[in-house]
Amino acid sequence: MIFIGHLDVMRYFQKAIRRADIDIAYSTGFSPHQIMSFASPLGVGLYSKGEYMDIEVNSTPSSAQAVDMLNAVMVDGISVESYKLLPEKAENAMASIAAADYYVTFRDGKNLVGDGWQDKFLAFYNQATIPVLKKTKKGERTVDLKQLIYETSPDGDGMYLRVCADSGNNIKPIQIFEAFFASLGLELPEFALLVTRLDLFTDTRESEAEPHQFVSLNDIGTIIE
C-alpha cells in the first residue's frame, strides 16, 4: 500500500464507502462529491498505522457495525480500526493536527552509520539547537529541529520519534535523518529509511504558554452505540 499516493487513497476510500453502503452526504450540483477530508496526506513510500479522515453522513450505523461494514470491503493492507462521532463543533481533522509519531529504521544495506547508530542519533538530538535549512515556496528559512522534535527514543532496531506536524511546521522523518547524517559528514542514501507513521495528535492545551497536551485523534469523539 505504500506505493499508493494520497489522492488515490482518497479515491479508494470514496469507492469503499459506496461499497460498504455508508450513508455519506454529498455536495450538490451536476457532479456531487462525498463530504470527506483526510487529516494528513501520507507520502508515497511511507507505512502507517494511524491515519484519520472525517466524513459527513445522513444517517449512521453503530460504530461497531460501521467498522465491520468497512472492513468487509477493504483490500489486504488497509483496515479500519475505529469509527466515531465527532463533536458538532470539531474542527475538521485536517486543520487540527499538531504532532505525529513515527517509527524509523533502515532498509537493508542502507545504514551507513553502522552499529550503535541509535546512540549517535541521541547524541545528535541532545545538542542545544539543530538548525536546518528548510526550502519553502517562498524561499529558504532556518528552522530549529530541536524545538520540533518532541520526543525520541530507541526502540528495537529503530528510533521512535514524536514530531511537530502542524500546518506551519510539518516535520518529516527524512529531514531529521538527513540532518543527522550530515552531522556525521555522511549523505543519506536514496530510499534508505523505512518509515511508519504510528499516530496523529491534536493539542488540547488552552494557550501557547502551557505545555503541549497531545491527544491521539483516536481519542476524540464518541462511540456510536
Which spans of this chain sit near another protein (rule: CB under 8 A)? 1-5, 8, 11-12, 14-19, 21, 26, 30-34, 42, 44-45, 47-53, 73, 75-81, 107, 190-191, 196
Q: Which is nearer to another protein, 42 or 97 (CB)?
A: 42
Other CB atoms within 10 Å distance of the CB of residue 62:
12
Q: Which is nearer to another protein, 8 or 151 (CB)?
A: 8
Q: Which is nearer to another protein, 5 or 131 (CB)?
A: 5
Q: Which is nearer to another protein, 88 or 190 (CB)?
A: 190
Q: Which is nearer to another protein, 140 or 191 (CB)?
A: 191
At closest approach, how far in Å is the CB of 31 from another protein?
Answer: 7
At closest approach, how far in Å is the CB of 82 from another protein?
Answer: 8
With CA atoms as reference, report the closest residue to 102 among 179, 34, 170: 170
Q: Measured between alpha carbons, how far is 29 from 125 in angstroms, rounded to an integer?
A: 52
Q: Measured between alpha carbons, how far is 41 from 10 in angstroms, rounded to an integer?
A: 9
At closest approach, how far in Å is the CB of 62 from another protein?
Answer: 18
Distances (CA, A) of 37 to 100, 154, 191, 204: 18, 33, 29, 21
At closest approach, how far in Å is the CB of 45 from another protein?
Answer: 5
Q: Measured between alpha carbons, how far is 146 from 132 in angstroms, rounded to an integer?
A: 10
At closest approach, how far in Å is the CB of 218 from another protein?
Answer: 8
Question: Could you tell me if 178 and 188 are in contact, meaning their C-beta atoms sit under 8 angstroms apart?
Answer: yes
Cell numbers describing residue 113? 552509520
